[in-house]
Structure 1
Amino acid sequence: MDARLTPANARVAHESLRDQVDAPEYTQGTWHRIAGGVVDILKAPNGSRNRQALFGERVLQLEDHDGFAFMQAEKDGYVGYIASACLTDDVRATHWVCTLGSHLYPAPDMKQHEVDALSFGAQVTIVATANRFSETDTGLFVPTAHLCPVGTPHGDTVTNAELFLGTPYLWGGNSRAGIDCSGLVQAALLAAGYECPGDSDMQETLGTAIAEDAPLERGDLLFWKGHVAVVVDQMRMIHANAYHMAVAYEDIAAGVARIEAQGDGPVTARRRL
């Protein structure tokens, strides 16, 4: 079993795994929402970052141990640990942030000092709207122009990825503050209405294979071992990469040659949604 997707550790496992893994305890878990703007999903308590969760995203908490919640993210099934203090009650989200970023304010006034930053894809629960601001269930305010109703797709894969142009590269990142190749693809696809796992090796099974001699089209995905890019047109791709240390356009032919020359191998898959 892939540990990134298996809700089990040495102390507890999800009830659905009762006949598949041995654990001292099995649980159905409890649903919560992420309370901070961006929260690291860790491989182990106080360990390295695997991915990140955004404000308002829903997670299933299986355990609270020494200040860390062992959890599984609803959006992609990713399993890991987050600080327990970053969880709040499971209240149904009504809207999501469909601009690159936004802020939470203590009052419906852009001159107020922001309380938190929200990234593309963050979720909020709106209870009232007036004077260009929407009030959340916690009494904070978001610019209404930055929101779309939950369940409403936004843009296409390329348009969504292009929002992040210039965003610094961050291993395991999922936000405007820093993002990696698979985080960029996931954000772009989820917003466009597609399901998408969290890491590039998982994403390599999306859609259908494109023949080697077939021309590439806008929105196609190119994969290498440990890397993924989105095709913008037959000449260019966009990807979060450590060469530019940012989300950037790159000539496809030049990029393919560069990646192979630096020792990361050839393209391993070409996929179309």
Structure 2
Amino acid sequence: MDRRLTPATDRVALRGSGIARDMLADGRPMRVAAPVADLLRAPGGARDRQLLHGADVTLIEERDGWGFVQAAADGYCGWVALSALTGERPAITHRVTAAATHLYPAADFKRPERGSLPMGARLSVTGTEGRFARLADGLFVPVQHISDAAAEDPAEVALRLIGTPYLWGGNSRLGIDCSGLAQAALHGAGIACPGDSDLQRDAFPETETVQRGDLLFWPGHVALALDARTMVHATAWTMSVITEDIAAAIARIDAAGDGPFLGARRPRLDDRIAFP
């Protein structure tokens, strides 16, 4: 079993998962309240991925201020600080579609901001005041930065994050890695996508031709095609999200000993996630 997709710790398994453990848990629905929360391999351990504000999870075990959860969006499992979670789950109505946005105490952009949220954060909007949306927690966000409809083009979503610093396991404008960028782009278009590049490669069918929106793979790396010649990716080469010529990238990565190019895969446009 792949530990990343296995809803069980060494002590507790999610009831109904078919996994044998000494204890079974029904699981408690929770939601990420922090702007971004690290999803860790072990309590206080290394980061595998990140969960964004508004992400729904199932809490399976609590241990010393940490919770073992399974993310609803992609099934990814790991440990997250319990302080980043909430049991309050008002209806989700919108997502942040700008690269990032600010939260305000009133419908006034001149007021000091109370925080920020990354692209992909899920929101509960209860009304509007002028050019601001009022959230269930009483804060406000610019209406220009949110939407209740998925984007039509994953590549356009990825391009919003150009210049974002590279961060291993990152999933947001604060820092993102290659598979985080691919997932952000596809999820922004309402298309299901796993969290890591090897899982992404296994999830989608091969294609001999390359077109906009295809995923391009190397060992441990993934990029998103903008067309047959150009791609966008989060790369440790520049420590940022960049566009690059595909042929030049293949040659560069081979020369660095990080190849070979493993080909292209085409996301399943009919495999949708709930949006917002």
Normalising by structure 2, we get a TM-score of 0.93
Q: How do 1:53-202 residues align onto structure 2 when only pairs under 5 Å count?
A: 53-88=51-86, 89-149=88-148, 152-202=149-199
Q: Is the 8 A contact 1:204 1:269 kept in 2?
A: no
Q: Which residue of 1 aligns with 2:274?
A: none
Task: Give the CA deviation at 1:90.
Answer: 2.3
CA distance in 2 between partners of 1:103 and 1:255 (Å) = 35
1:219 to 180, 202, 213: 213
Task: Give the CA deviation at 1:22.
Answer: 2.5
One-letter identity of the residue aligned with 1:202: L
CA distance in 2 between partners of 1:125 and 1:179 (Å) = 25
Runs of 4+ in 1 over 6 A off after TM superposition: none
One-letter identity of the residue aligned with 1:47: G
Task: Give the CA deviation at 1:205.
Answer: 2.5
Normalising by structure 1, we get a TM-score of 0.94
Give unmatched runs, 5+ long, in structure 2. Answer: 268-276
CA distance in 2 between partners of 1:24 and 1:130 (Å) = 52
Q: How do 1:19-58 residues align onto structure 2 when only pairs under 5 Å count?
A: 20-58=18-56
Q: What does the per-residue CA deviation read over 1:52-87, in whole Å, with 9 as the maximum and x for residues that have no partner?
A: 011111111111210001101111101001100111
Aligned length: 266
One-letter identity of the residue aligned with 1:233: D
Q: Is the 8 A contact 1:33 1:91 kept in 2?
A: no
CA distance in 1 between partners of 2:112 and 2:61 (Å) = 35
CA distance in 2 between partners of 1:92 and 1:65 (Å) = 28
Overall identity of the aligned pairs, in %:
48
Task: Give the CA deviation at 1:92.
Answer: 2.0
Q: Is the 8 A contact 1:180 1:240 kept in 2?
A: yes
CA distance in 1 between partners of 2:54 and 2:136 (Å) = 11
Task: Give the CA deviation at 1:174.
Answer: 0.2
CA distance in 1 between partners of 2:155 and 2:121 (Å) = 19
Task: Give the CA deviation at 1:21.
Answer: 2.8
SS of the aligned residue for 1:190 comes to helix
Task: Give the CA deviation at 1:269.
Answer: 2.9
Q: What does the per-residue CA deviation read over 1:83-106, in whole Å, with 9 as the maximum and x for residues that have no partner?
A: 001111222211111111111111
CA distance in 2 between partners of 1:22 and 1:169 (Å) = 38
Give unmatched runs, 5+ long, in structure 1. Answer: none
Say whether 1:237 aligns with 2:235.
Answer: no
CA distance in 1 between partners of 2:58 and 2:263 (Å) = 33
CA distance in 2 between partners of 1:29 and 1:51 (Å) = 21
One-letter identity of the residue aligned with 1:53: L
